[in-house]
Amino acid sequence: MRWKDEGIVIAIKKYGDKNLVLSLFTKNHGKRRGLARLTNDSNYKFQISNLLHAEWSAKLPENLGFFKCELIESPSHHFFQDRLKSITIVSFSSILEKVLPESEPYAVLYDNFLYFIDVIKHNSESWQGHYLNLELLLLAQLGFKLDLSKCAVTGAQEDLQFISPKTGRAVSKQAGDYYADKLLPFPQMLHDVYNNNLQNSYSYREFQLGLKVTGYFLNKYLFSQLNMRFPESRDLMLSL
């Protein structure tokens, strides 16, 4: 069996002296793993976030198989000196590696991840909002879409200040004030991202608040269900 596709490097692990296990998030074949030969340019070619042209082959579809890869683009030199951006890329790649089912295509998620890499590569001020959108999209693509459009209690679309940790639905100030200590805050940045009204002037504190919300639901719906630990790189994004 053989196929060709393009894919983003999301994980690498050395395998013996001459090979490594390469994990790609591909456009048409989803997350796929395979063995790749170690060569003189391996350290440059197989970096997290690199875009590769890949040819995968195996005798049977369920086999690990082998990759032959050509580098299309290596974007990391655009942001490797920015610690937060670098950790963000590593974090989302690690999340994809852990939670995506094998061989199931997620073309919309793939295109958005590729676009996000392009956003931070060009140093856009809105990159943090695009990252929160990626995590919201990942939840939605795996069947856990948050409903932040209106109050779950009153149906109001104004003054949404809380999110229910049980249902992932928004709650207005009027309906949620009494239970505020049991609800998650609904940061303005996350509200704007959800409503496709992204601005450029958010503080790092706003980004942290958004990360705490999306991280809560990633952990609840995905990592806890899969009995996996939340990636340390994702936690690190909150402490820089």
Domains of the chain with bracketed CATH: 1-73 (2.40.50.140), 80-148+186-240 (1.20.1440.120)
Residue with tokens 């690990």, as numbered in its chain: 64
201-219 per-position pLDDT tens digit: 789 999 999 999 999 999 9
Pinpoint the alpha helices (H) of 47-126.
83-99, 107-121
Percent helix, percent strand, percent coil in the chain, to nearest 5: 40, 25, 35
Confidence of residue 240 (pLDDT cuts 50, 70, 90): confident
Confidence of residue 122 (pLDDT cuts 50, 70, 90): confident
CA 208 to centroid of chain Cα atoms:
16
176-194 per-position pLDDT tens digit: 999 899 999 999 999 999 9
In angstroms, what is the C-alpha Rg of the chain? 19
Close Cβ partners of 87 (under 8 Å, ≥ 6 residues apart): 233, 236, 237, 240
3 state DSSP class of 68: strand
